[in-house]
Amino acid sequence: AIGYQESHWNTAAVSPTGVQGIMMLTNVTANHFGVQDRTNAQQSIRGGAELFRLLQRNLADVPEPDRTWMALAGYNMGPTYIERARARAARAGDDSTKWLVVSQHLREMGLESRAQGRTLQVGQALHYVQQVRRYYDALVLATAAGNDNRVAFNDGSRRRVQ
């Protein structure tokens, strides 16, 4: 699900910021996780998965599923922003282990950043988390035991897929 949101499973994907491959890894991240070729699907997925696991481990005090949602946001915008939003939530007396609470503090940080003439890609990260959750749910549904291979379409119909 992360790979689909990052690159639509395009091994040659490159962003304007220089991240590359299915998991859209930076050079620094790729080097850290031993990825020699970011366009190699296997290496990219392994490196991205290792990064995601590290982000989850760093949120060990956060129960699931909130840990996963925060790790996804950290994958997208960098874990430092999640740490700052959690610290901000704790200072405000809010529950810093709840994704909804942390996401509200991220939104506030984004508004403050904008007011100061800076850009913090909070909206992008929140959308990212939502999309990965949707893709994950779709993959689970599509591979569930007893799946009848039918998909619901926007027009309300259900059609069989192969």
Query: Which residues are known to be catalytic?
Result: 6
Decide the pairing of beta strands 158-160 and 150-152. Answer: antiparallel
Rounded-to-integer distance, Cα 6 and Cα 9, Å: 8
DSSP class of residue 67? Answer: H
Task: Tell me which H or E stretch contains 150.
Answer: strand 150-152
Rounded-to-integer distance, Cα 153 and Cα 138, Å: 13
- Please, how many CA atoms are within 13 Å of residue 2, restricted to the half-sphere of its CB? 23
Q: Does residue 52 contact residue 30 with C-beta atoms inside 8 Å?
A: no
DSSP 70-97: HHHHHHHH-HHHHHHHHHHHHHTT--TT
Output Rg (C-alpha) for the chain, integer angstroms: 18
